[in-house]
Chain A
Amino acid sequence: QEPQASGLPEYIKIVEVGPRDGLQNEKVIVPTDIKIELINRLSKTGLPVVEVTSFVSSKWVPQMADHKEVMRGIERHPGVQYPVLTPNLQGFHSAIAAGATEVSVFGAASESFSKMNINCSIEESIEKFEEVAKSARNMNIPVRGYVSCALGCPYEGNIIPAKVAEVSKRLYSMGCYEISLGDTIGVGTPGSMKKMLEAVMKEIPLSALAVHCHDTYGQALANILTAIQMGVSVVDSSVSGLGGCPYAKGATGNVATEDVIYMLNGLGINTGVNLYAVMEAGNFICTALNKKTNSKVAQASFSTGTVN
């Protein structure tokens, strides 16, 4: 590890979204025991947060139909958080009954995306989330808020930073402890990332912000670097870069956790995560899915037989 480059956060919290966001966007339905094994392996890597599953109707998201079994089946390691997605109050109650101790809600900065994705307006979705947030508050359950399409929308194209700031502020005000800003279709660049963050930082404290970058156009690490240069210290990623892009057939989606950690290690930033252990977990799930990894670090390391 290198001595830390000045001006950057000393520690970055990595939020591992592979088991949920990653698998949700993989074509092959993964057996429950494989999901549990993946999460258990990830729990041993030092990752502080592993997003487990989604309490959404199996009609909409068949991959997450086994949410209860997965939630109940995983080992819960001390010091690791296991958030689950809860799109509404019903999902929230179901999640709590299954043992969830943290939940996430998903908003969007685009009306069209909100309509196409969850069949309601941004305002209507916020109302649903407020119900969840209220129940969560009563039960002392932390809620994480996601804002999709923060740097562009597959339907609307350009998204104005002020809109991202507005939606983020609504989620934060209702009690979300953290807002994860998602470049859902990966179109963002360091230029648009900077503008968007500047607008959002006016409304939300830096320490409550996370970035969730997709690598569909190869820009993820450059965008993440820009974000951390601006002081963001929470980064979402997916082991092996699991999860393609549902809006660009054959294109990639999530940024690979291995590649993010490699970069942060090189910057001397502490993550607490063992890169090699993540690569092994990635190798496990790729074998199970019968697919090649999307992580360049994993590709290079396995072919040279050395870990840099």
Chain B
Amino acid sequence: QVSSAGPYPRRVKVVEVGPRDGLQNEKNVVPTPVKISLINMLSETGLQVIEATSFVSPKWVPQMADHTEVLQGITKVPGISYPVLTPNLKGFQAAVAAGAKEVSIFGAASEQFTKKNINCSIEESLERFNEVMAAARAANIPVRGYVSCVLGCPYEGKISAAKVAEVSKKMYSMGCYEISLGDTIGVGTPGSMKEMLSTVMKEVPVGALAVHCHDTYGQALANILVALQMGVSVVDASVAGLGGCPYAQGASGNVATEDLVYMLNGLGIHTGVDLQKLVDTGTFICNALNRRTNSKVSQASCRL
């Protein structure tokens, strides 16, 4: 129920997407050693999942061209998972060859978004993923599924909750252990989040759901709060709020991990994350990128 101010899950798994989703949407190309340092610093904060890179063609995503070097260069701390994006079988094979132990695939709840983004229909994208799933199953590699545009699409506008549930169910049925529901352009509010989740939860168990909220309209933490109230216990975020919105120039994108952890701490929810170390990591990458942090917690903590 949206109307109850609690109860909340005791623990929340924070999935750190800064090094991939964050950097991918930053204008400045980041040198490989800086990416590696970023991931290594994140590995010291208590985060259990750090999305490392994307095995996509450098023609499409120049920022991720060094995917093999990054994955091979980072210190893989035991107990921490370093998933990588694999848009197709080729990317999957390259990822495994480079040492990947977990992969992610990206679907969408919008036909137009899928067409513009990966030049095929939703159905065709799922067929491609089937190949990845089969290979992953054979190699015992867990696969995380993302669904984009769950609360709105830059091209189609409103997205029906039923469509989100349909795509999520398909990806879950094909073997994804977790489905991360993404508010890609940040237009969602607690109202639309609740409606979407109620529908999706009829098809996918809440324990297998995650939310990936963008803060483009300042709604991310409120949306995450509602998701927690409905039983979701996995939340994606990006250190320093790295990653602008490619659909709204100058607007923000990912929610900042620091601000998320601050809220979860205040709710007494266990994350295992050391907020100060996270803030320090955010400071590091912002200096390297020569940009200000998008994290309000970080801004407030600096008394210069």
Residue ranges of A at the interface with B (Cβ–Cβ < 8 Å): 2, 5-8, 186, 188-192, 194, 215-219, 221-222, 224-226, 229-230, 245, 248-252, 256, 259, 262-263, 265-268, 295-297, 299-300, 303-304, 308
Contact = CB atoms under 8 A, between A and B. Distances in A.
A216 B300 contact: yes
Contacts of A263: 189-190, 218-219, 222
A155 to B, nearest CB: 15
A245 B300 contact: yes
B150 interface: no
B186 interface: yes
A248 B2 contact: no
Given A5-B194, A266-B188, A300 B299 contact: no
Interface of B: 1-6, 152, 186-192, 194-195, 215-219, 221-222, 224-226, 245, 247-252, 256, 259, 262-263, 265-268, 295-297, 299-304
Given A5-B194, A194-B6, A263-B219, 19 more contacts: A2-B192, A7-B2, A7-B3, A218-B297, A219-B259, A219-B266, A222-B225, A222-B263, A225-B190, A225-B226, A229-B2, A245-B300, A251-B299, A262-B218, A267-B189, A295-B218, A296-B216, A300-B186, A303-B248
A259 B223 CA distance: 13
Contacts of B303: 248-249
A5 B223 CA distance: 14
B5 A262 contact: no
A270 to B, nearest CB: 13
Contacts of A252: 296, 299
Contacts of A295: 218
Chain A CB within 10 Å — which of B215, B216, B222, B259 has the most?
A: B222
Given A218-B296, A263-B219, A299-B251, A230 B5 contact: yes
A284 B9 CA distance: 43
A26 B189 CA distance: 29
A222 B302 contact: no
B177 to A, nearest CB: 28
Contact of B267 (A189, A251, A296): A189
Contacts of B296: 215-218, 251-252
A251 B222 CA distance: 20
A191 B266 contact: yes
B229 to A, nearest CB: 8
A303 B216 CA distance: 11
A249 B304 contact: yes
A7 B251 CA distance: 32
Contact of B265 (A189, A221, A303): A189
8 contacts: A186-B300, A194-B5, A217-B297, A229-B4, A248-B303, A251-B300, A266-B219, A308-B217
A71 B190 CA distance: 38
B1 A225 contact: no
A267 B226 CA distance: 12
A92 to B, nearest CB: 35
A189 B228 CA distance: 14
Contacts of B2: 5-8, 229, 267
Contacts of A265: 189
Secondary structure of the B contact surface, majority rule:
loop
A248 B299 CA distance: 8
A5 B193 CA distance: 11
Nearest to A255: B218
Chain B CB within 10 Å — which of A6, A245, A299 has the most?
A: A299
A59 to B, nearest CB: 27
Nearest to A185: B300
Nearest to A265: B189
B267 A218 contact: no
Contact of A190 (B186, B251, B266): B266
Contacts of B6: 194
A215 B221 CA distance: 12
Contact of A221 (B191, B218, B297, B301): B218
Contacts of B219: 221, 259, 262-263, 266
Given A218-B295, A266-B188, A266-B219, A188 B266 contact: yes
Chain B CB within 10 Å — which of A190, A265, A304 has the most?
A: A190
A-B CB proximity, top 5 nearest? A7-B3, A189-B266, A266-B189, A218-B296, A296-B218
A303 B195 CA distance: 28
A218 B215 CA distance: 10
Given A221-B219, A249-B304, A308-B217, A190 B5 contact: yes
Contacts of A304: 247-249, 251
A230 B5 CA distance: 7
B83 to A, nearest CB: 26
Contacts of B188: 266
Given A300-B251, A303-B248, A259 B191 contact: no
Contacts of A296: 215-218, 251-252
A188 B222 CA distance: 14
A57 to B, nearest CB: 28
A190 B225 contact: yes
A199 B111 CA distance: 50
Contacts of A218: 221, 256, 259, 262-263, 295-297
